[in-house]
Amino acid sequence: MRNTLSLVLLGVAALLHAQVPIIDYDFLAVPPSVQVNKVVELPDGKILLGGFFLNYAGSGKNHLIRLNSDGTVDPTWNPGGTGPQNQVRDIVLMPDGRILVAGGFVEYNGVQTQAIVRLFENGMRDFAFNIPPNSFNGAVNAIELHRDEKVIAVGDFFECYGVSRPHIARFNSDGSMDFGFDIGTGFNNNAHCVLVLPDDRILVGGVFGMYNGMLTGNLALLTADGPYDASMNNTPGFGGGPVYALALQPDGKVLVGGEFQYHNMQPASCLIRLDLAGMPDPAFTSPIYPYARVKTIALQDDGMILIGGEYTSAMYSPPVEGPNRITRIHANGTRDDDFALGEGALPGSQPNAYVSDIAVQADGKILVGGFFGSFHNPAEVQYRNIIRLLPEAVTGIAEATDPIALQAWIAPGTGDLMLLHPFPDATNASLHVFATNGQVLHEGTLPSGNRETIRVGLGLQPGVHLVRVQHAGRSMAARVMVMP
């Protein structure tokens, strides 16, 4: 019995590759401790994760982390800082590369600021934007960049800077309140999502029934300066539950997701497509049962639509079982059963699970974040709270037929890395070993023709390490843990 522990998690995943070929097994992100609320790809291919997690992968970073494109931690992010002191709920990129972050925090890197912070590209705080402590009396759920670098925030708050700002406010580029943004009495309940349209008008979804005295059930269109825009007919609006997600299509129509059962007294099952006059698109039918919950919507370049949320395989309409909590649909709303999601996102030790955010990368790969304990089946526990999917099912890939997946462990007493060569007939297969903070601990090549155990004398320190072997576009990976 070894006194050290070896985890051949990604190697096992490679053996299952033929069953769920859309999982990107080269994505080596360590599962966050609790949940991911937001995933964003940066222009250079790196990835921001925001959510509710502490000391991500031993990096010392809380609730906000930047990953390299392969999922390893980027050690250059927010050097010396710890990040937000509480959870992140939204992230927005600015055209110049700066980053807006919002949530329920009151500090960033140990310095007071509330609910919204602006960062430079490296994660350090931009102090030219500042919202002082005690400015909000509730969390910010979502933000959007408006004209002149102003920031629109919606959420659970009803006061801001000591004045009434029920659930929506706009800030100038320095973080001061924009008192010219005229919301009147605002929303009468919480707002969950916001979308700025190309003409600067503002669409807001939530659990409210009124905006500035006007009836508007859970969805309201505002003019660019804040007053209600009655050109969208949303009275009595959505009934049965909140609006959680908005997505603007290239044709100007808007996909609306949530927990609702009706729109303007007509059946609407958690997902609907509207024009900006509030008229439903008759060519679109929701694939979801009325009492499901859609929390996020993402658009692919080919017109396909990805949705995620809190629903099970039994909550499709018509009642044909499908993947849990994540679905790809055609432009008309019918489910794409060729997208091999397996069982989808599954619970872990807790009975509930959900997908909070989906982001389509520039290369078509799909980032999925949320609160889930495994993906495809309960055995795939290495995919917790964050996973990356390929845009299409892949057949004939080498990993699916390799008789030996990557097997790696730590030699007792020495800390040496041991492994079986996954490509024994290959010449110059590369070997990389990473610390979970992204530091490269070793890089080299493996000898060809060696089907025996290979010892790599590294003397690794206690902790979790990522091991990857690559050759000719093929990749095998595993995590190993050295116990103290």
List, for residues 339-364, the tens digit of each pLDDT value: 989 899 999 988 899 999 999 999 99
Pairing of strands 354-360, 366-371: antiparallel
What sign results for the dihedral spanned by CA atoms 246, 347, 101, 188?
Answer: positive
The per-residue pLDDT for range 427-459, each reduced to its tens digit, is: 778 888 876 555 667 888 887 766 567 888 777
**Pairwise CA distance, residues 114 & 423, whole Å:** 52
**Pairwise CA distance, residues 188 & 375, whole Å:** 38
Kindly report the CA angle at 415 between 412 and 419, in degrees rounded to 5? 85
pLDDT at residue number 451: 59
Largest Cα–Cα separation, the chain: 77
Per CATH, the architecture of 24-397 is what?
7 Propeller (2.130)
The per-residue pLDDT for range 32-64, each reduced to its tens digit, is: 999 999 999 999 999 999 999 999 999 999 999
- Residue 407 pLDDT grade (very low, low, confident, very high; cuts 50, 70, 90): confident
Which runs of consecutive H residues, i.e. helices, occur in 210-366?
Answer: none
The per-residue pLDDT for range 106-160, each reduced to its tens digit, is: 999 999 999 999 999 999 999 999 999 999 999 999 999 999 999 999 999 999 9
Q: If you average pLDDT over residues 169-187, what whole number do you get?
A: 97
> What is the domain partition of the chain in residue ranges?
24-397, 399-482
Cross-strand bridge partners of residue 479: 7, 466
The fraction of the chain above a pLDDT of 90, given in percent, is 71
Nearest to 6 by CA among 464, 386, 469: 464
pLDDT at residue number 29: 92
Q: Which CATH number fits domain 399-482: 3.40.50.300, 1.10.3720.10, 2.60.120.650, 2.60.40.3080?
A: 2.60.40.3080
pLDDT at residue number 437: 52
**Pairwise CA distance, residues 74 & 240, whole Å:** 43
Nearest to 316 by CA among 358, 324, 261: 324
Q: If you average pLDDT over residues 379-397, what whole number do you get?
A: 76
- Residue 398 pLDDT grade (very low, low, confident, very high; cuts 50, 70, 90): very low
Count the helices and strands in the chain (H runs, E runs). Answer: 1, 40
Q: Which two tokens stand for residue 46?
A: 């790196």
Cross-strand bridge partners of residue 7: 479
pTM of the complete model: 0.81
Q: Which two tokens stand for residue 283?
A: 């060519």
Q: Does residue 481 register a pLDDT over 90?
A: no
Cβ–Cβ under 8 Å, residues 182 and 226: yes
The residue length of the chain stands at 484
CA 157 vs CA 196, 386, 445: distances in Å: 20, 29, 56
Q: Does residue 200 register a pLDDT over 80?
A: yes
**Pairwise CA distance, residues 78 & 63, whole Å:** 12
Identify the residue with better confidence: 402 or 407. Answer: 407
